[in-house]
Amino acid sequence: MNRLVRIVPLAGVAYFALEVAGNGSIGNFPDSDTPIAKLIPFYASHHASIARGGFLLHYAALALALFLVGIWARARQTGVRTFVSGALLAGTAVTVAAAFAEAGVYSTLGFVGAHQSVITPAALQAWHVNGAGGGATTGDGGLMIVLLAISAASIAGGALPRWLGWIALPLGLVQLTPLGFFGSLVFWVWAAVAGIYMAARPHQSLGAPARTSPVSYA
Q: Hey, how many other C-beta atoms are within 10 angstroms of the C-beta on 33?
A: 9
**Does some domain include residue 173?**
yes
Domain that holds residue 91: 2-202
Asked, for residue 216, whether it belongs to a domain, the answer is no
pLDDT digits (tens, 9 = 90+) for 69-102: 999 999 988 888 889 999 999 999 999 999 999 9
54 contacts 104 by C-beta, under 8 angstroms: yes
Answer yes or no: is 218 within a domain: no
CA neighbor of 34 nearest in space, from 131, 106, 177: 131
Residue 209, in any domain of the structure: no
pLDDT tens track for 43-53: 889 999 999 99
Name the pTM for this structure: 0.85
C-beta pairs of 184-191 under 8 Å, 24+ apart in sequence: 184/140, 184/143, 187/143, 187/147, 188/15, 188/16, 188/19, 188/20, 189/16, 190/164, 191/12, 191/13, 191/15, 191/16, 191/64, 191/67
Query: Are the CB atoms for 113 and 46 separated by under 8 Å?
Result: yes
User: Which ranges of 27-120 would DSSP assign to H, the alpha helix?
Assistant: 36-78, 82-114
Assess if residue 215 is contained within a domain: no
* pLDDT digit string, tens, across residues 6-63: 789 999 999 999 999 999 999 888 888 888 888 888 888 999 999 999 999 999 999 9
Total domains in the chain come to 1
Q: Is residue 53 part of a domain?
A: yes
